[in-house]
Amino acid sequence: MSSKCNLPIYTLRVLNSKIYVVTSPELINAVNRNSKALAFNPFVAQLGKRITGHDEPTSHIVQHSLNGEEGPGYVIDVHDRIVAALSPGKYLEEMTKSFLNDAWHYLDRLETENVVDLFAWTRDVVTMSSTRAIYGPGNPFDKNPEFVGYFWAFDHDLNILIADILPRFLAPSGYKARSELAAAFAEYFKCYDPEVAESSAMIEARYRTNTQYGLSYRNQGCLEVGTLLGILANTVPSSFYMLARLYADPALLQDIRAELGHAALVESDDKLCVINGTALRDSCHLLNATWQELLRVHALGVGSRYVREDVLLNDQYLLEKGRVVQMPMAVLHSNPAVWGSDAYEFRPRRFLKGSDGTKGPRTNLSGYRPFGGGASLCSGRHFVALEVIALAACMIMRFDMTPVEGCWRIPVQKQESMATNVFPPESDVRVKVTKRQGYEDVQWKFELR
């Protein structure tokens, strides 16, 4: 519809209600500026219980003062504390270092177990390494690796769980997986001691907020299942597509390897190579541009807002109280008016300055919102970026990778969960991984300097 009519906003009539679909950067920025009247938090109240299965008293705690009507409530408090824990700085570096230290063991095993299904391998690495970095050793995934499968069963059935129509019978695998995860995290928090847990600052912040508001261990466990969506549901598919895109494009792979060799290798000889994680973020512009382009092409979710009061958007469009606003990323990210005639192509250098894309990162990209925007900007975006970029950098510097079937085909995405922006692939890619030619005898290390 958007490609045919090319309008900035549409009204869809659904039964007795309306949905406003906003597709222009200018109007999306106007939505972000009206964060009190056009709010994200009401969706927490409407969908949270269906997603996590917490009880009614906990719903009252979660829903109280959602938008600060009576001062900060639970949602605002926990959000602000998580933002502080995940902002660039000491805590974020500690999490990233822990993630890579754990992921490094999986990379080492590729030297001998060198034929893998790429998405399944990425899923296991990112799930296990992320949860250890965030929750510390001895977390439920650490104790029972079967929980990797439980989480993805829950994610697969999430839309049915949200519909809340006989979920025990229509989504038995997801319903059981959610219950098992919630029970395991209830036990985790029951035994949690911030002084000895070796968890991240984010989890300590969540635990202290939950305790402050008097949440039972059972309901802390339920709410943590929702947190897992933020930790894993987008990060795993993003990591898969980052690796697939890099290895599928020999010219891009060569250029990024050269950039890494110049900017991120702090020690390099025929025996030892050390990758500096700080340089990945600050000095590897093409690698970061590839990450941005990956999200432009593969982040296909929808941002939503609830209209709390009548709003004349941009002094032109009346949005009625009680309606829903949706902002589809796929439309915005593929709009030729925003991105040019090559909007449907994968071209990372569009995120760099200069006609040849060699002059550092572009900024002020109003048509780009893979992490949302305004008051609902994703608090975990810095950690996700470091996870994906660091894992990709370590992989491409250490290994070559080719599909077993002989040529790369980027799998199309399969929409499973309305809570996800980067959907998983419809099919996996079986690959052969070998030590990079010329680096067969080199030992690799990752450091943050």
Amino acid code (one letter) for 55: D
Q: How far apart are CA 62 and CA 223, in angstroms?
A: 10
Which pLDDT belongs to residue 293? 97
Q: Are strands 272-276 and 443-447 parallel, antiparallel or unpaired?
A: parallel
Q: How far apart are CA 174 and CA 172, in angstroms?
A: 6
The gap from C-alpha 47 to its chain's centroid, in whole angstroms, comes to 19
Which pLDDT belongs to residue 2? 56
User: In which residue ranges of the chain is pLDDT below 70?
Assistant: 1-5, 268, 355-365
DSSP string over 237-288: HHHHHHHHHHHH-HHHHHHHHHHHHHHTEEEESSSEEEEEHHHHHHT-HHHH
Total number of residues shown for the chain? 449
Which pLDDT belongs to residue 372? 84
Q: Are strands 38-39 and 399-403 parallel, antiparallel or unpaired?
A: unpaired
Which pLDDT belongs to residue 154? 96
pTM of structure: 0.93
Tokens of 448: 């943050």
Which pLDDT belongs to residue 43? 76
The gap from C-alpha 327 to its chain's centroid, in whole angstroms, comes to 18
